[in-house]
C-alpha cells in the first residue's frame, strides 16, 4: 500500500462516504475523500434533514386550529416563508461544518473538487493526479425528470428546498414517498396542491392498507389526489404554468414538482475508463462485500440502488471499512429495516406487507385497528390512525408492523427492535401498554381481522 498516496480514496462525502472514511482512518488507513458539491450529501442538504424540518413547519397550521379546542385563542397566523428558508439554511450550514470537522478530526484529507477515475488506482481530482490502493464510490443518487415538452419548467425536490416564495398552487407528479411528503408539506403551509400519479395507488411496494389509508387522509386534508393521470406537456404563460394531461385536460398552477424517481449519480466518474459494471439504470453492480467488477473499486449507498436510506448507507460503510482495514468479516443485513415516510399523517413500517407475508408463509393472522387519537376527541378532527400487525401463524412470530398516524416513525423504531429479535405475538400481548398513548394499540390488539 505504501506505493500509493492513499489506502482508500472515497468519491462522495455523504453519509456513507463520510462514515466509511472516518471508520477506515480510525483503523489506521490513509484516507482521502473528494466532494464537489456539499458535505453531508443528499440527506443533510436536500433530503432527510431539510425535509423533516419542512414537515415540522407544515404541521403548525393544524396545531393552530386544534389549539382552540384546548382553550387557546390564537390570532390569525402569518407565514414568513423567507424565515423558514433562512433558518433551514443556517442549520444545514451548521451540519456541513460538523461533517468537515469529523473528517479533520480523523485525519481524512478532504478534496473539494470533482474526482474522476482514470485507471484502477489513479484519479484526477480537480486537476491533481492522486493514487489509491482502494477506491470507494459513494456518490448517491439524483432526481430524474422524464423527457417531455416543457419539462424545463418543472422543479424537483432538490430545488424545492430553496424556493424564494411559497407557491399558491402546486402540481406534484409522482406517487412515491417524496411525492406524498411534499404534497403534505406544501398543503400544510397553505398551497393548493394537486398530486398526479400514473398508477392506481400511491406508494408502490407498501402495505395495501397503508396505501389506501394515507390516500384517504390526504384527501381529507385537502390534497387533490388523482390516479391514472399523467402530464403530457407544460407551457408557461406569464407566471402561470399550464399542464396539459394525457387525457387532454389542463391544470393551471404556479409550480410543478416532479418526484418520479431517482437515478444513480455516476455520470462523469470515469467508470467506463476501467470497466466498472453498471446495471441498466446506471447503478453500480457490487457483490455482498460492495466490490464492483473491478476488484479494488467499491461502491455503496444510493449509487448501488439497494435501499436508498441514509442509515443503510452508513451500515454498509461500517461493514466495508471493518472488512478492508480491521480484519473483520461483516455482512450488511437488509432484513426488517424500519422505514418512515414523513407524509401527513406520517408512516412507519417494518417487516413484510400483508401480500408478501401471505406469499412467504401461507397462513397468517392480520390484526388491524383504525381509530381517532385521543387528542382529536376534543378537536373534532376526522383524522384517523391506522395500526397493523402481521403474524406468521405457524411460529406466532410478528413479521410485519405498519402504522399511519402522528409520530409513526418514532413508534416504529422500537417495533423494529422487536422484529429484529424475532418477537412473537404472545410476547407483544404480554407487554404492558403505556396508557393513554397511540402506541399501546400495538400491544392490545387481540382479535385478528383476517387470516
Does one domain contain both 124 and 14? yes
Task: Go through 171-193 and write b for each residue having 16 or more CB atoms within 10 A of its CB, e for each that does not.
Answer: bbbbbbbbbbbbbbbbbbbbbbb
CA distance 185 to 62: 12
**Number of Cβ atoms within 10 Å of the Cβ of 60:** 13
Task: Go through 312-325 and write b for each residue having 16 or more CB atoms within 10 A of its CB, e for each that does not.
Answer: bbbbbbbbbbbbbb
Q: Which residues contact 240 (CB under 8 A, 6 or more apart)?
A: 252, 253, 254
The answer to whether the beta carbons of residues 25 and 31 sit under 8 Å apart is yes
State yes or no: cis peptide before 436, omega within 30 of 0: yes
DSSP-derived 3-state class of residue 240:
strand
- State residue 145's pLDDT score: 96
Q: C-alpha grid cell for residue 444?
A: 392490545
Question: Taking Cα atoms as reference points, which of 129, 141, 139, 111 lies closest to residue 20?
Answer: 139
Does one domain contain both 86 and 234? no
CA distance 257 to 231: 12
**Dihedral, 194, 197, 201, 205 alpha carbons, nearest 10:** -120
Residue 228's φ and ψ, nearest 5 degrees, are: 55, 40
- State residue 2's pLDDT score: 60
104-116 tens-digit pLDDT:
999 999 999 999 9
User: What's the start-to-end Cα distance of the chain, in Å?
Assistant: 59
Does one domain contain both 136 and 274? yes
Sign of CA dihedral 246, 223, 55, 186: positive
Does one domain contain both 14 and 121? yes
Task: Go through 285-310 and write b for each residue having 16 or more CB atoms within 10 A of its CB, e for each that does not.
Answer: ebeeebbbebebbbbbbbbbbbbbbb
Q: Residue 390's domain is classified under what CATH number?
A: 3.30.390.30
| Within-domain flag for 296 | yes
Could you tell me the CA-to-CA distances from 309 to 15, 85, 106, 128, 315 in Å, in that order?
A: 10, 24, 25, 32, 10
- State residue 373's pLDDT score: 96
Does one domain contain both 115 and 17? yes
| Within-domain flag for 70 | yes
Does one domain contain both 344 and 390? yes
CA distance 171 to 223: 10
State yes or no: cis peptide before 345, omega within 30 of 0: yes
Q: What is the pLDDT along the chain (451 residues), one digit of tens a residue?
A: 469 999 999 999 999 999 999 999 999 999 999 999 999 999 999 999 999 999 999 999 999 999 999 999 988 999 999 999 999 999 999 999 999 999 999 999 999 999 999 999 999 999 999 999 999 999 999 999 999 999 999 999 999 999 999 999 999 999 999 999 999 999 999 999 999 999 999 999 999 999 999 999 999 999 999 999 999 999 999 999 999 999 999 999 999 999 999 999 999 999 999 999 999 999 999 999 999 999 999 999 999 999 999 999 999 999 999 999 999 999 999 999 999 999 999 999 999 999 999 999 999 999 999 999 999 999 999 999 999 999 999 999 999 999 999 999 999 999 999 999 999 999 999 999 999 999 999 999 999 998 7
> Of the candidates 325, 349, 374, which is a domain's last residue?
325
Q: Which residue range forms the structural domain that includes residue 316?
A: 6-143+263-325
Is pTM beyond 0.85? Reply is yes
Residue 240: exposure state from Cβ atoms within 10 A (0-12, 13-18, ≥19): exposed
| Within-domain flag for 94 | yes
- State residue 48's pLDDT score: 95
| Within-domain flag for 156 | yes
| Within-domain flag for 333 | no
CA distance 340 to 134: 34
Q: Which residues contact 377 (CB under 8 A, 6 or more apart)?
A: none
Active site residue 376: no
**Number of Cβ atoms within 10 Å of the Cβ of 125:** 18
| Within-domain flag for 351 | yes
Residue 36: exposure state from Cβ atoms within 10 A (0-12, 13-18, ≥19): middle
- State residue 74's pLDDT score: 87
CA distance 355 to 391: 12
Selected catalytic residue, list 59, 121, 263, 435: 435
> Of the candidates 286, 303, 325, which is a domain's last residue?
325
CA distance 56 to 330: 37
CA distance 179 to 74: 31
288-301 tens-digit pLDDT:
999 999 999 999 99
Task: Go through 252-280 and write b for each residue having 16 or more CB atoms within 10 A of its CB, e for each that does not.
Answer: ebbbbbbbbebbbbbeebbbeebebebee
Does one domain contain both 81 and 214? no
Q: Is residue 371 within a helix (H) or strand (E), and if so which, with residue range? A: strand 364-371
Q: Residue 82's domain is classified under what CATH number?
A: 3.50.50.60
The length of the chain, given as a count of residues: 451
Number of domains in the chain: 3
Q: Return the bridge partners of 344, or none.
A: none
- State residue 450's pLDDT score: 82
> Of the candidates 260, 282, 303, which is a domain's last residue?
260
Q: What is the DSSP letter of 285?
A: P
Amino acid at each position: 500500500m505504501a506505493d500509493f498516496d492513499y489506502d482508500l480514496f472515497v468519491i462522495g462525502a455523504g453519509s456513507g462516504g463520510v462514515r466509511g472514511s472516518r471508520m477506515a482512518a480510525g483503523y489506521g488507513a490513509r484516507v482521502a475523500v473528494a466532494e464537489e458539491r456539499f458535505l453531508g450529501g443528499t440527506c443533510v442538504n436536500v433530503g432527510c434533514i431539510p425535509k423533516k424540518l419542512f414537515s415540522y413547519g407544515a404541521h403548525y397550521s393544524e396545531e393552530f386550529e386544534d389549539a382552540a379546542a384546548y382553550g387557546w385563542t390564537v390570532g390569525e397566523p402569518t407565514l414568513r416563508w423567507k424565515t423558514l428558508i433562512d433558518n433551514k439554511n443556517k442549520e444545514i450550514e451548521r451540519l456541513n461544518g460538523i461533517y468537515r470537522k469529523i473528517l479533520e478530526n480523523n485525519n481524512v484529507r478532504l478534496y473539494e473538487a470533482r474526482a474522476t477515475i482514470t485507471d484502477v488506482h489513479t484519479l484526477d481530482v480537480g486537476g491533481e493526479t492522486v493514487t489509491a490502493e482502494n477506491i470507494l464510490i459513494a456518490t448517491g443518487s439524483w432526481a430524474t425528470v422524464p423527457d417531455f415538452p416543457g419539462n424545463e419548467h418543472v422543479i424537483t425536490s432538490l430545488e424545492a428546498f430553496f424556493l424564494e416564495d411559497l407557491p399558491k398552487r402546486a402540481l406534484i407528479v409522482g406517487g412515491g414517498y417524496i411525492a406524498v411528503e411534499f404534497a403534505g408539506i406544501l398543503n400544510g403551509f397553505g398551497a393548493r396542491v394537486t398530486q398526479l400519479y400514473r398508477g392506481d395507488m400511491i406508494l408502490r411496494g407498501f402495505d395495501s392498507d397503508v396505501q389506501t389509508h394515507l390516500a384517504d387522509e390526504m384527501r381529507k386534508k385537502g390534497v387533490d389526489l388523482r390516479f391514472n393521470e399523467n402530464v403530457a406537456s407544460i407551457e408557461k404563460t406569464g407566471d402561470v404554468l399550464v399542464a396539459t394531461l394525457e387525457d387532454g385536460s389542463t391544470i393551471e398552477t404556479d409550480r410543478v414538482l416532479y418526484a418520479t424517481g431517482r437515478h444513480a449519480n455516476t455520470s462523469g466518474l470515469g467508470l467506463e475508463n476501467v470497466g466498472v459494471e453498471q446495471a441498466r439504470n446506471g447503478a453500480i453492480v457490487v457483490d455482498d462485500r460492495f466490490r464492483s467488477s473491478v476488484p479494488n473499486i467499491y461502491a455503496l449507498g444510493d449509487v448501488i440502488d439497494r435501499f436508498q436510506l441514509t442509515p443503510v448507507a452508513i451500515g454498509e460503510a461500517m461493514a466495508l471499512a471493518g472488512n478492508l482495514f480491521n480484519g473483520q468479516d461483516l455482512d450488511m443485513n437488509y432484513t426488517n429495516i424500519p422505514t418512515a415516510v414523513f407524509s401527513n399523517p406520517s408512516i412507519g413500517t417494518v417487516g413484510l406487507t400483508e401480500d408478501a407475508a401471505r406469499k412467504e408463509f401461507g397462513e397468517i393472522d392480520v390484526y388491524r385497528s383504525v381509530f381517532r387519537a385521543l387528542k382529536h376527541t376534543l378537536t373534532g378532527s376526522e383524522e384517523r390512525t391506522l395500526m397493523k400487525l402481521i403474524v406468521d401463524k405457524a411460529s406466532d412470530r410478528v413479521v410485519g408492523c405498519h402504522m399511519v398516524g402522528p409520530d409513526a416513525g418514532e413508534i416504529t423504531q422500537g417495533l423494529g427492535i422487536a422484529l429484529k429479535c424475532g418477537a412473537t405475538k404472545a410476547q407483544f400481548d404480554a407487554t404492558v401498554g403505556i396508557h393513554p398513548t397511540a402506541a399501546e394499540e400495538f400491544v392490545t390488539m387481540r382479535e385478528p381481522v383476517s387470516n
